[in-house]
Structure 1
Amino acid sequence: MNYRVVSLAISAGKYKGFVDNAIKLGTNSISSYVCVANVHMCIEAYDNADFARIVNQADLVTPDGMPLAKAIKLLYGVEQDRVAGMDLLPDLLAEAEKENLKCFVYGGSEKMLANSEAYIQEHYPNLQCGFHSPPFRALTTEEELADCDRINNFGAHLVFVALGCPKQEKWMAKMKGRIHACMLGIGGALPVMIGMQDRAPAWMQKASLEWLYRLGQEPKRLFKRYAYTNSKFIYLLMKQKLGLLK
């Protein structure tokens, strides 16, 4: 079941159900993708109909941010678990290790992937995981094909895509039917997991203030984005609540 929040059809269910569904898709080598949605993605989708289609055609759209989980409660009276990429990533790696599934990390800098490889070897010693850092420019057709072959030949069941929103969602949609695995757009979850960035304290997460913590870490990059997306999200959410949002 899905619940519409502004521009996105958010998948409903308990946190564990999302983990189980992703593992099932990966185990069966079903070419699929999971979007981990937050306020930024919601507004990107509202402003761009093509991007909204990409996200809403995903096999799962998780409520990454507490604002989306609380929006479901406000609009539909339903308690919805937060399903954050920062929680999904380590939990899925642990499940993949347990189920003997292969993982692949696609995206991020060479330094980040080197740190990720060391972290995964230490914390998930029995997990087989591949890594690739593509160029930050647009890929050629030949490069795209080579990346598909690299991931498929590795035999990946789960592909963690760390290209950032909206690039990673567009890439996953393009690769559906070509990469025989469950792809998950994990955004900034990877650097947090391996300790390159800090995560907000639990009380800020529960109070929907994780964005404020991130703003304090990267004020120059995030101030303009948050000023626009957060205020627009609240405005559109109120319109939807009043039945005025088309």
Structure 2
Amino acid sequence: MKDIPVITVGGLPIAIETCDEAARTMIDHAVAARGKMEPPLYVTSANGQVLSSCASNPEIRELFLKADIIHADGGPLVQASRYLTKCPLPERVATTDLVHDTARMAAAEKVTFYFLGATQDGIEKAVANMKQLYPDLDFVGYRNGYVAEDEEAGLIEEINKVAPDILWIGMGVPREQQFVVRNRERLTGVGVIKTSGGLFDFLSGKNKRAPDWMQKASLEWAFRICQEPKRLFWRYLTTNPHAIWLLLTRTR
């Protein structure tokens, strides 16, 4: 993998890449990894919730520090870097944007995808919608995210058999990171793993993105609360103040 500069934002090492550059990094690594039978590149993302969780729980922090690349999937991380560092992050690398940048390149360069996560109905709709947007994009497989640990060996065998260049895993933090760390050494048929959080709910149409002005103002979290108040209100109420403190005190 090429050397990617990083800065510390909120206590985590965050890659200095644009969304387009991040997509190119994954595509190039995936192609170069074909046939080598080595553990895949592990790419994940951080937002305010992740910063708070990592600072509060050493085990979760270790899951993220094992990643090869951590992107800033949160506008406040980008803003903090601009005010508090000499090498600011160029932009937010939201997974919901990154998947489209990567898909465009993948469709043109014959790089294959596998989607793992969400419900069966959700993952089927996500794949169908992506195929409609990118007719030349090659999916070698997909599966819902309800995988018991005693089913993982069979799933790993299946994934290695179809050998996706990029495996997108959307199981939520920290379950998806735990899955990667637990199985990375066995996923030798995969070139890149990208953890994806709730990506498939957006691709399936279950959830909607915030308006552009809210995204630019780093207020997408507020829009998501309106969509899922029961699930997200308490989370953001408790993690946002902690994340702000971390951004102010652990960014350099």
**TM-score (norm. length: structure 2):** 0.89
Q: CA RMSD in A?
A: 1.7
Equivalent in 47, 71, 88 of residue 79 of structure 1: 88
2:168 is aligned to: 160
- Counting only pairs closer than 5 Å after superposition, residues 141-156 of structure 1 correspond to structure 2 as 143-156=151-164
In terms of mean alpha carbon deviation, does 39-48 or 173-182 score higher? 173-182
Contact 1:89 1:186 in 2 (8 A): no
Tell me whether 1:229 sits opposite 2:239 in the alignment. Answer: yes
Q: For residue 4 of structure 1, what is the amino acid of its counterpart?
A: T
Q: Which runs of 5+ in 2 are unaligned?
A: none
Distance in 2, matches of 1:114 and 1:21, equals: 27
Cα distance change of structure 1 residues 114 and 15 upon mapping to structure 2, 3 Å threshold: closer
Contact 2:31 2:111 in 1 (8 A): yes
- Counting only pairs closer than 5 Å after superposition, residues 101-140 of structure 1 correspond to structure 2 as 101-129=111-139, 130-135=141-146, 138-140=148-150
CA apart distance, 1:84? 0.5
Distance in 1, matches of 2:27 and 2:6, equals: 20
Distance in 2, matches of 1:144 and 1:194, equals: 25
Cα distance change of structure 1 residues 97 and 228 upon mapping to structure 2, 3 Å threshold: same
Tell me whether 1:169 sits opposite 2:177 in the alignment. Answer: yes
CA apart distance, 1:37? 1.2
CA apart distance, 1:168? 0.8
CA apart distance, 1:126? 2.1
Encode CA deviations 1:8-56: one digit per residue, 9 max, x unaligned: 1111123322111111221123611111211111111111112212212
Distance in 2, matches of 1:134 and 1:224, equals: 24
CA apart distance, 1:220? 1.1
Cα distance change of structure 1 residues 79 and 5 upon mapping to structure 2, 3 Å threshold: closer
Q: For residue 225 of structure 1, what is the amino acid of its counterpart?
A: R
1:213 is aligned to: 223
1:43 is aligned to: 52
Equivalent in 58, 65, 71 of residue 67 of structure 2: 58
Encode CA deviations 1:206-227: one digit per residue, 9 max, x unaligned: 1110000000111111111001
Higher RCO (CA 8 Å, separation ≥ 6 residues): 2
Identity %: 29
Q: Which runs of 5+ in 1 are unaligned?
A: none
Distance in 2, matches of 1:6 and 1:50, equals: 17
Distance in 2, matches of 1:170 and 1:11, equals: 21
CA apart distance, 1:239? 3.0
Contact 2:20 2:98 in 1 (8 A): no
**TM-score (norm. length: structure 1):** 0.91
Encode CA deviations 1:79-133: one digit per residue, 9 max, x unaligned: 3211110101112122111111111001110010121232123122222211011
1:19 is aligned to: 23
- Counting only pairs closer than 5 Å after superposition, residues 177-192 of structure 1 correspond to structure 2 as 177-179=185-187, 180-192=190-202
Distance in 2, matches of 1:147 and 1:16, equals: 31
Contact 2:9 2:80 in 1 (8 A): yes
Contact 1:103 1:160 in 2 (8 A): yes
Distance in 1, matches of 2:41 and 2:14, equals: 16
CA apart distance, 1:161? 0.4
Q: For residue 5 of structure 1, what is the amino acid of its counterpart?
A: V
Contact 1:69 1:79 in 2 (8 A): yes
